[in-house]
Chain A
Amino acid sequence: MATEILMPALSPTMEEGTLAKWLVKEGDTVSSGDIMAEIETDKATMEFEAVDEGIVGKILIAEGTEGVKVNTPIAVLVEEGEDASALPAAAPAATAVAEAAPAAVEAPAPSTAPAAPVVDLSPDWPADAEMKSETVREALRDAMAEEMRRDEDVYLMGEEVAEYQGAYKISQGLLDEFGSKRVIDTPITEHGFAGIAVGSAFGGLKPIVEFMTFNFAMQAMDQIINSAAKTLYMSGGQMGCPIVFRGPNGAAARVAAQHSQDYAAWYMQVPGLKVVMPYSAADAKGLLKSAIRDPNPVVFLENEILYGRSFDMPQVDDLAIPLGKARIWRKGSDVTIVSFGIGMQFALEAADKLAEEGINAEVIDLRTIRPMDTGAIINSVMKTNRLVTVEEGWPQGSVGSYISSVVMQEAFDYLDAPIINCTGKDVPMPYAANLEKLALITTDEVIAAVKQVTYR
């Protein structure tokens, strides 16, 4: 049977090309892999190989022809004994196969949030739960220990997590309880061990990867984004990656530019990742437990300054707080302050001081940055009509700027003042004590922003 040979597309963008040269002539026998012609694309001259065996029955497009559309028949291959002269004349270029270009379609957009979103304000533990003071450090360790007792497939890997008991003592005691099979010291090789951990998650384990700080996770960024976050989608839902990347994030004290960066806004951008940034000890524990159980990759951003801070910890059996749910720390009616992580410290201090001046701020702790509980923010703004966001990260492309865009689009009519984003200054973190203080967000700045949006 005669086979038409079509003008090939030789690059992702090629639509037409020049048939520069025929390297076969009518009557020649070709087999798969033989070079038949040279074709010029917009980028290069390419050789075009035969894919079938046969005899060149007819050459339909003469060499030197320019502007030959992709999929135009350029030659006809016949089998032995077949009469080439009986073949129909060449189809005009215009009838080239069109099935290759599917019509452009508009993808359906996800439905936007309703004007008054339903917000889950249910308490995370029983109101009568007994409370005990506990540090964030203890909370994180207990969360890991409880989940490791609960599930054999959970293990902890990172630099100094085992014998050293954790660079910041978060994993204290875990090696003793779980042994070196499940609490694993790695060499200083973030890219490599992040990749190994992601691979082990594909293989059915539930790794917790501790980065000594998230600054070092930049070495592992490709594995976090390209391998962990995207594989479920690329596999059509077959291959998930249940993994937690955790460690201190943001500025500590006097460690300067390369050790003092808040990555919330970076990770927040990535579909496929969940991003958690707790403030209190109870949230650190409850959210880490949920993160470990979550079938998705979770970036869990801690804070070195908060590690030693004590909070009330409810004494309940299994404190697992759902991801994606904000917490209202303080009810108020005059302004909404939204923050997360260490930013909450400034938000709450500011709210206390503002209350003395008769301004009642509602303070929302996002806790999870992605998926973000924007419903809780909008609900609050519909009541207070004013919004200030507080975070330690840089201003351009900040978490606050995303919140601002969501509120503008979904609750514009409720706003009585422009939203203000309180952020860290737009500079690498300086070392000098006075400059460092200037670069960081302060309670006074939050107070000033609130006064500005409340026109006081």
Chain B
Amino acid sequence: MAARKTTKKPNVSAEELKTYYREMLLIRRFEEKAGQLYGMGLIGGFCHLYIGQEAVVVGLEAAAKEGDKRITSYRDHGHMLACGMEPGGVMAELTGREGGLSKGKGGSMHMFSKEKHFYGGHGIVGAQVPLGAGLAFADKYKGNGGVTFTYFGDGAANQGQVYETFNMAALWELPVVFVIENNQYAMGTAQARSTSSADIYHRGQAFGIPGEMVDGMDVLAVKAAGEKAVAHCRAGKGPYILEIKTYRYRGHSMSDPAKYRTREEVQKVREQSDPIEHVRELLLTGKHATEEDLKAIDKEIKEIVNQAAEFSKESPEPSLDELWTDIYA
């Protein structure tokens, strides 16, 4: 992980910093709780945690405006929380209960919210990329000025449909920000073992799509890059690529023994580049908040997450009739 480049005293208000701190902490505590519930057998199947990557989605949400859309793959809990979806509804979907946002029928990888303009939650690596460009196509067709954040990982960046989509998005000048969340490992394969070039954002050049690399452990850097990308899209200049370098602390999914990297590597990132610690430091050194203020936030978040977990345990399993509903509209 590259050393942080932002200044010690960034031009950002105390309130803003506290918001980022709160939102990132919510994702982290939520994911830790999800891991715990998985361990207890309350969550089944695949469960991909977002711990370590929180600044990516929180920074970009800060650059979005009402009506903008977002779509991602199966590592999606953070995106849902960041766009304001109810933590209890998300957690109850993980436990497969009636109170889940997909009534328990989608699970961790497949959740949606029309209200929050969150279009999933998709389980097939790379498939969300043309879908995201399609959302942008609809916005452009309707002329509503919306922008779509289409998230995918460094692994998905090697899928053919990504480049089919780059071509059409550039050709048709679609208002889409392609967000490559480069956490450096595609499941267990390090980027250098799967990807011919070191920098993925360069790959838009062939299609005339501008791109840049962003420090994904710095929420302020992510927000700034997001604002630039969104402005480009809204100005009608077509797509933009952000390769956001980040790191996932946990395994690819819950059943990942993580033998492809050392514990020291993970520990080093946690100690030196943690995105939440970074904002915490800015808050404390900038005298925007005291230890007590932050403790109060910690407590508040813990309470929200505990309530979400309680709801996800208490919500009943879906009624058996649900097997046969929602197949056709």
A residues touching B (Cβ–Cβ < 8 Å)?
A: 6-12, 14, 32-33, 35, 41, 43-49, 51, 70-71, 97, 99-102, 105, 107-108, 110, 155, 181, 186-187, 189, 191-205, 222-223, 226-227, 231-240, 242, 271-272, 274, 295-296
Contact = CB atoms under 8 A, between A and B. Distances in A.
Contacts of A107: 320, 323
For chain B, which range describes its interface: under 10, 10 to 19, 20 to 34, or 35 or more residues?
35 or more
Contact of B168 (A9, A192, A204): A192
Given A196-B168, A202-B135, A236 B255 contact: no
Return the 9 tightest CB-CB contacts between A and B, nearest first.
A199-B134, A195-B130, A192-B164, A8-B39, A203-B138, A100-B41, A11-B255, A236-B103, A199-B131
Given A199-B138, A203-B138, A272-B328, A189 B112 contact: no
Nearest to B167: A187
B36 A187 contact: no
17 contacts: A10-B254, A12-B44, A12-B46, A43-B255, A102-B317, A187-B171, A192-B130, A199-B119, A200-B137, A203-B138, A227-B127, A232-B329, A233-B105, A233-B327, A234-B105, A235-B111, A236-B102
A108 B327 contact: no
Interface of B: 32-33, 35-36, 38-42, 44-46, 51, 69, 71, 100-106, 110-114, 119-124, 127, 129-139, 141-142, 160-161, 164-165, 167-168, 171, 249-251, 254-259, 263, 270, 313, 317, 320-321, 323-329
B255 A240 contact: no
A101 B41 CA distance: 7
A436 B187 CA distance: 47
B106 A234 contact: yes
Contact of A12 (B255, B323, B327): B255
A209 to B, nearest CB: 11
Given A192-B161, A199-B119, A202-B138, 9 more contacts: A47-B258, A192-B165, A199-B132, A199-B133, A199-B135, A199-B136, A204-B138, A227-B131, A234-B105
Contacts of A186: 168
Contact of B161 (A6, A70, A191, A272): A191
Contact of A204 (B105, B142, B320): B142
A7 B317 CA distance: 24
A204 B136 CA distance: 11
B114 A239 contact: yes
A223 B127 contact: yes
A231 B61 CA distance: 24
B325 A205 contact: no
B106 A236 contact: yes
B127 A202 contact: no
Nearest to A186: B168
A61 to B, nearest CB: 14
Contacts of A295: 329
B319 to A, nearest CB: 10
Nearest to B34: A51
A325 B96 CA distance: 36
B303 to A, nearest CB: 14
B257 A235 contact: no
A204 B129 CA distance: 17
B46 to A, nearest CB: 7
A240 B329 contact: yes
Nearest to B139: A203
B127 A195 contact: yes
Nearest to A181: B141
Contacts of B105: 233-234, 236
A191 B133 contact: no
Contact of A9 (B41, B164, B325): B41
A43 B253 CA distance: 14
A5 to B, nearest CB: 9
Contacts of B114: 238-239
B32 A32 contact: yes
Given A9-B41, A200-B141, A226-B123, A51 B35 contact: yes
Contact of B32 (A51, A223, A234): A51
B168 A187 contact: yes
Given A187-B171, A196-B168, A237 B263 contact: no
A51 B33 contact: yes
B135 A203 contact: yes
Contacts of B325: 237
A319 B123 CA distance: 39
A97 B40 contact: yes
A4 B62 CA distance: 38
A203 B134 contact: yes
B127 A226 contact: yes
A296 B328 contact: yes
A49 B133 CA distance: 38
Nearest to A48: B39
Nearest to A102: B317
B327 A189 contact: no
Contact of A197 (B42, B121, B134): B134
Nearest to A196: B134
B134 A195 contact: yes
A231 B114 CA distance: 13
Given A102-B317, A234-B105, A238-B114, A196 B137 contact: yes
Contacts of B120: 231, 234-235, 239
A227 B255 contact: no
A233 B329 CA distance: 9
A44 B127 contact: no
A155 B130 contact: no
A196 B36 CA distance: 37
A419 to B, nearest CB: 28
Contacts of A232: 326-329
Nearest to B134: A199
A177 B170 CA distance: 26
A200 B138 contact: yes
Given A100-B42, A187-B171, A195-B129, A108 B320 contact: yes
Contacts of A108: 320-321, 323-324
Contacts of B36: 8, 51
Contacts of B33: 51
B119 A239 contact: yes
B257 A45 contact: yes
A192 B32 contact: no
A62 to B, nearest CB: 20
B152 to A, nearest CB: 12
B327 A70 contact: no
B68 to A, nearest CB: 12
B103 A9 contact: no
Nearest to B42: A100
Contacts of B255: 10-12, 14, 41, 43-44, 46
